[in-house]
Amino acid sequence: MPKHIAISLDDISDWCRKNNASFSSGCEKYFKSLKRLIELQVKLDVPIFTVYILPDNADKLSDDYMSYSDFIAEFFSELMNSSIIPEHKLKVSVFGKWYKLPGKAVEALKGIIEATKDYDRFFANFCINYDGREEILDACRLIAKQVQLGKLDPEMITKENIKESIYSSYLLPPEIVFIYGERKLTGLLMWDSIGSNVVFADKSFMEFDEEDFDIIKPQPI
């Protein structure tokens, strides 16, 4: 079984438009599936899941941004109080500029990050208000500061320095990247995904089913 699976989810609004559904009902379906996805991580015994659920320009793209932020707050508040967290020592991390979300969502994310910081059996990472190129830019800024302070010689900068400076510095690279929705790369874990196997689900995450992950299960001899 792989040690790290990255999953990029499609946009709720697209599914709602295509299925003539309200954004609220779409969010309810989406976050129920997201909870099932985390339960599947434990069931499959995959140590690391990284899930991309909100791009960094969502506030400019969607009129439903505020409503979506409320659902984020509700989801993570419920997840923090669920039995799956303490029973399986699941640590939740959040990558991206999530601290720019509306206050209720930020408080929920802060709460679950703090509550799970000492767990180390399973790692569930959520990319929220995230952009893969921005992640690399932030790493470059950190390295530039080290150079500016005289702590690092520019000639000595290595790939390892960049890895140490990205959001997912402490994680193994993903072996598999699942993409729901359109058949296109989304920039998820751009630095770490070199060499990853890309699997296109060819459907919306709203139709998520555990069988989507049959491809990673060991096959009977």
Position 164 pLDDT exceeds 60:
yes
pLDDT at 62: 60
pLDDT at 63: 63
pLDDT at 51: 97
- Tally of CB atoms within 10 A around 21: 15
pLDDT at 221: 56
In the predicted model, what is the mean pLDDT of the chain? 91
User: Once rounded to an integer, what is the mean pLDDT over residues 28-43?
Assistant: 95
Position 19 pLDDT exceeds 60:
yes
Q: Please state, in angstroms and rounded to a whole number, the distance separating the CA atoms of residues 206 and 41.
A: 18
pLDDT at 58: 64
- Helix H or strand E segment including 114: helix 103-115
Q: Which pLDDT tens digit goes with each residue over 170-221?
A: 899 999 999 999 999 999 999 999 999 999 999 999 999 999 998 876 655 5
Letter for the amino acid at 62? Answer: S
Class for the domain spanning 4-131+172-216: alpha beta
Position 82 pLDDT exceeds 60:
yes
Query: Which residue in 35, 122, 127 sits closest to 81, CA to CA?
Result: 35
pLDDT at 218: 62
4-8, 136-140, 213-217: which has the minimum mean pLDDT?
213-217
User: Once rounded to an integer, what is the mean pLDDT over residues 123-152?
Assistant: 95
User: Once rounded to an integer, what is the mean pLDDT over residues 161-172?
Assistant: 93
Strands (E), 115-192: 122-130, 176-179
Q: Do 3 and 171 form a contact (C-beta atoms < 8 A)? A: no
Burial degree of 158 (CB within 10 A; 0-12, 13-18, 19+):
exposed
High-pLDDT (> 90) share of the chain, %: 81
Q: Using the structure block, give the residue that is written with the tokens 């909870």.
A: 35
pTM score, whole prediction = 0.92
User: Once rounded to an integer, what is the mean pLDDT over residues 2-22?
Assistant: 92
Query: Which residue in 46, 44, 18, 8 sits closest to 190, CA to CA?
Result: 8
